[in-house]
Amino acid sequence: MPGYRIRILDSSSHDTTEGELNVDRETSPVGLMLGYQGRDQTELAARDYPTGDIAKVDDDGYIFFVGRADDVFKSSDYRISPFELESVAIEHPAVLEAAVVPSTDTVRFVIPKIFVALAPGYQPDDNTARDIFTFLRQKLAPYKRIRRLEFCDLPKTTSGKIRRAELRQAERDRSSETTRRPFEFFDQDFQ
């Protein structure tokens, strides 16, 4: 973004190599809204402008998108980006669309679960689940491994975006982590 200074800040508003992407208001005020009508503008103008995106910067200064701040979660103390896992999953020919959300686990507290809308010609069965899990194991680091998979029609907004909040809520509302829904498979079933 020419003309804008981008900063990556941690939760204490200190510069870091991985954190929330912010626009520095002090050096790049042109083109940014000054605030919300009816709110105190002086407090808002003094801070950086948070985007709600998590990003990381490499040694050469290139910035990489990690995910939305409200989507990123921790599993076994590792930060997991649903965007990264979904990008790998849709490389599989059976996966038309995918959404990754955290799912409760007694050992890791939270594990990645993927909801998959299948491409035409594929069935939501053991063989397809096994094939997708095998593919993901080959492409992802062990700490990023997707441990649960559910075939379903993904809930969408009127504009066609996947409603991840609805999927996260469905996982939080589970009665038990061992109770399975129809068309739900666990990675451990295929090892």
Residue numbers of the chain with a pLDDT score lower than 50: 46
pLDDT of residue 112: 94
**Both tokens of residue 43?**
């407090």
pLDDT of residue 65: 82
CB 44 within 8 A of CB 32: no
pLDDT of residue 71: 75
What CATH number was assigned to the domain covering residues 73-190? 3.30.300.30
pLDDT of residue 11: 78
Secondary structure element (H or E) that encloses residue 6, with its range: strand 6-9
In the DSSP assignment, the letter for residue 144 is: G
pLDDT of residue 125: 96
Contacts 24+ apart (CB under 8 A), 85-91: 85/112, 85/114, 85/136, 85/140, 85/144, 85/146, 86/114, 88/136, 88/139, 88/140, 89/114, 89/116, 89/132, 89/136, 89/146, 91/135, 91/139
Domains 6-68 and 73-190 share a fold: no
pLDDT of residue 39: 67
pLDDT of residue 14: 87
pLDDT of residue 134: 96
* pTM metric for this prediction: 0.72
Domain spans, the chain: 6-68, 73-190
What CATH number was assigned to the domain covering residues 6-68? 2.30.38.10
Measured from the Cβ of residue 117, the count of other Cβ atoms closer than 10 Å reads 16
